[in-house]
A and B are shown apart, each in its own frame.
Chain A
Amino acid sequence: MAMIETDMTLERLSELVDAYGASALRWPTGERAGAETLLARSAEARALVARAADLDRLLDMAPHEAPSADLVARIMAARPRAASGQVVSIRTAGRSPWRAVARAVWPYGSPAFPAGALAASIMLGIGLGVLAPSTLSTLGLTTTVATSSATTGTGDQLVSLALAENDYPEEWKQ
């Protein structure tokens, strides 16, 4: 307590009052007790606070109006509805077993990227398997991959999936 009393100076009180005004309730919590102790024993400190109180009272005169009924009605009209697609779909997505598994396997955010990469890897493996090993030995790997993508029919979609570009379930991206 003695520390608090001696820590507060007129200079610091002046800074507090200049910034936060006359009400001790607006002063930083840690400095309030020390400031009030100084006020109790210093007329100069009280004069500082009184000057700030004049500005506080003027500021309190700034006009304010209650919310109009129309504003409340507009806000309430836009509220989520139990049957609305948006809210229900978000809640459903949050509870789906898929999301629970995805979160357990990939707790670092959206599972879209690892899921897409996994799918692309599987298809790449299938593509390579379809081609004879002899093809692999005679063609470069790059060429083979390109051929694989072109011949599977779903190759472009898989690349998009791997990059999480588009046509991806919106909930996976959230």
Chain B
Amino acid sequence: MNDASDDELVARVALGDEAACGLLVDRHLTRMLALARRMLGNQADAEEVAQEVFLRVWTHASRWEPGRAQFGTWLHRVATNLCLDRLRRHGTEDIDSIPEPVSDDPTPHEELEQSDLARRVEMALQTLPARQRAAVTLTHYQGLTNIEAAETLGVSVEAVESLLGRARRQLRLALATERDEWLRKTRV
């Protein structure tokens, strides 16, 4: 069953096939969780969204029409919309609620420095407007094409390119210091 298509697995899910459910989870949960983490900035909320995505798969499996849409693209759409809804419901994201990077002081542990830098990158992502963040998440992190990202967000390809251009410009500014620090470390 490992080489079964997503459509075949969804059909089996509708019949209550546990192995098919497990395979779909194996194939897609990590990516859905990553998408939600980039969008929401914390693991607890991301897990809630990822769980909700799969609850929708379980609920709608019997009505899934093979060939009408790519299952993976549909999942991205569901997850993205759940994240955007959540951000809308909670209003403007509270940047203050994101934990501060560990410290500006140099640390002897390279691992800590890496995680500090990782948190700063995550913070920079969280400062982006939600749809810009979604565009970056879908194309840069999830590897969707510009056409797939446009379908997922319900906008034109040109609009996706515009969202991405603005997002990366803001990220370049927000991460200028981090970029310099990192370049010093890696190129000395």
Interface residues of A (CB under 8 A from B): 15, 18-21, 25-26, 28-29, 52, 54-59, 61-68, 71-72, 74-76, 78-84, 87, 90-91, 94, 174
**Do residues B168 and A19 form an inter-chain contact, with CB atoms below 8 A?**
yes
Q: Does any Cβ of A come within 8 Å of B179's Cβ?
A: yes
How many angstroms from the CA of A90 to the CA of B13 in the assembled complex? Answer: 13
Counting contact residues on chain B (CB < 8 A from A), the size range is: 35 or more
Q: Of all chain B residues, which has the CB nearest A64?
A: B34
A-B contact pairs, 16 of them (CB 8 A): A19-B165, A20-B139, A25-B143, A54-B183, A55-B172, A57-B182, A58-B178, A61-B121, A62-B118, A63-B37, A63-B115, A71-B50, A79-B18, A80-B58, A82-B16, A82-B17
- Interface 1/0 per residue, B134-153 and A, CB below 8 Å: 00100111010110000000
Partner of B125, one of A19, A20, A62, A83: A62
**Chain B at the A interface: SS class:** helix
Q: Of all chain A residues, which has the CB nearest B175?
A: A58
**Do residues B168 and A55 form an inter-chain contact, with CB atoms below 8 A?**
yes
- B40 CB, min distance to chain A CBs, angstroms: 12
Q: Please name 17 further chain A to chain B contacts, defined as beta carbons within 8 Å, in addition to the given A28-B146, A87-B61, sorted by A numbering.
A: A19-B164, A25-B143, A58-B178, A59-B136, A59-B141, A61-B118, A62-B141, A63-B119, A66-B30, A66-B33, A67-B50, A72-B25, A78-B55, A80-B58, A83-B16, A90-B62, A90-B63
**Do residues B16 and A59 form an inter-chain contact, with CB atoms below 8 A?**
no
Q: Of all chain A residues, which has the CB nearest B164?
A: A19
